[in-house]
Amino acid sequence: MNPEQIREAARALRTIESGVRVLRSISWSSAVKVDFFARGARELPQVSYDTFDSSSVHAQLHEVLSKIEGDSSIANWLRRGASAIGASAELIASAGTTNFLEHSAKLFGVPTSEQGGTTALALAQSVESLCDETSGLDLGAPPDACHLADGVAQRLREACVKLFGEEAPEVLVVEELSANALAGPRRIQVRRDACFTDRDVLQLIQHEAYVHVCTSLNGRHQTELPLLAASHAGTTRTQEGLAVFAEFITGTLDPDRFRRLADRVLAIQMAIDGADFLDVFRFFQNRNLSEDQSFENSRRVFRGGVLSGGAPFTKDAVYLDGFLRVTNFLRAVVAEGRSDCLPLIFCGKLDIEDVPALAQLTELGLCTGPKFLPPWASDRRFLVTYLSYSKFLSSVRLDDHREHYRALLEHTPLASPVG
């Protein structure tokens, strides 16, 4: 493909993608929650979805695909984008049916999808076990505190201006929002009645601002390749995985947050195995969450799917699945001496599998380096050192050492907190 063919395909896919909005199409009105609690939270929510005809999307995609030539990395990048857009259209069209799971799994995987010899479900179960084992220990968390929305919004504004300058998004406090906070390239919204811990504030900065807003703004600067500004479902695993990795490497991913991500994976697997909305709602209630938060967490699992079980929305599995993928990719990049590829993952909205194409597009002058990088990613000396040690640790057999230290600690009393 020549540069003009690449530009034309990227522009066309961006245009088609703009008409396929998964989350907006499967969202629930606020009346669903009101009605659910009015009926005592004992009956499945009453939800319906608008009919969506995916045929026009596929017709447009067919026209674009007919002009994509060859089997190069760039051609395959464009084809993957087209495939994700088509699958997203099918996902919307199948809302409320048992076919919904098939299309959701194609886009986001399922908790048992293998990644680097393990799965998001295995990681979730490990996190649950760790949290149970440490539940009685003092990990040094400050006393319970509620950081109110106005204060959190101000912290976000300051962080955004520091990194993005004049391109910083507007930060708004809003009355209604499906999550505590949502970010886009133009604005970050914070729900007025949400309560945040000290780590929640830092997580929002790293996750929402310094990854999601960052890659959105960088994608908007890719004027030759507008597809890199598109948050289509094919990029979700990498984008959310990168955001969770950002929390981890900056020390803001605490056990409470880790467990919340793990619980989402466990809840999705429950629903795949046949649990209905009420079963999952009670699962979250048993995590000592409020009725309101239990409903919202359950809604995330069942939006677009079958409320009686068997066909959930699997998107929330990507937080841990993507975390594994991004971590393994970054470690491999350093191990192979290809740290030159690290900035590429911030060039826009992309999947890890797109990196070879982006390198070629950069060579062709069609893709530019990221204008913005979060502090942890711009400090490559720290990042390479950290990833090199992490890669070495993966070769160390813990079982060879565990028995020795188990014996060493067997009769060691629990240490009192210092200070």
Q: What percent of the chain has pLDDT over 70?
A: 96
SS3 assignment, position 260 = helix
Q: Looking at the domain assignment, is residue 179 inside a domain?
A: no
Paired tokens of 412: 């060691």
Q: Is 284 left (phi over 0), alpha (psi -120 to 50) or beta?
A: alpha
Number of independent structural domains in the chain? 1
Q: Looking at the domain assignment, is residue 387 inside a domain?
A: yes
SS3 assignment, position 306 = strand
Q: Looking at the domain assignment, is residue 130 inside a domain?
A: yes
- Give the confidence band of 183 by pLDDT, cuts at 50, 70, 90: confident
pLDDT tens digits for range 239-266 = 999 999 999 999 999 888 999 999 999 9
| Spatial CA neighbour of 221 closest among 340, 343, 349, 342 | 349
Mean pLDDT of the chain: 91
Contacts with 309 (C-beta within 8 Å, 6 or more apart), sequence order: 271, 273, 274, 275, 276, 277, 279
Burial zone of 401 (CB within 10 Å; 0-12 exposed, 13-18 middle, 19+ buried): exposed
- Full residue range of the structural domain in which residue 58 is found: 3-145+197-393
Q: Looking at the domain assignment, is residue 221 inside a domain?
A: yes
| Spatial CA neighbour of 26 closest among 52, 56, 57 | 52
As a whole number of Å, the CA-based R_g of the chain is 22
Full-model pTM: 0.91
Contacts with 416 (C-beta within 8 Å, 6 or more apart), sequence order: none
Question: Residue 28 in contact with residue 50, Cβ under 8 Å?
Answer: no
- Give the confidence band of 394 by pLDDT, cuts at 50, 70, 90: confident
Q: Looking at the domain assignment, is residue 293 inside a domain?
A: yes
Q: What percent of the chain has pLDDT over 90?
A: 73
DSSP 8-state assignment for residue 147: B
Q: Looking at the domain assignment, is residue 258 inside a domain?
A: yes
Q: Looking at the domain assignment, is residue 261 inside a domain?
A: yes
- Helix, strand, coil in percent for the chain, rounding step 5: 60, 5, 35
Q: Looking at the domain assignment, is residue 340 inside a domain?
A: yes
Paired tokens of 154: 């101000």
SS3 assignment, position 210 = helix
- Give the confidence band of 402 by pLDDT, cuts at 50, 70, 90: confident
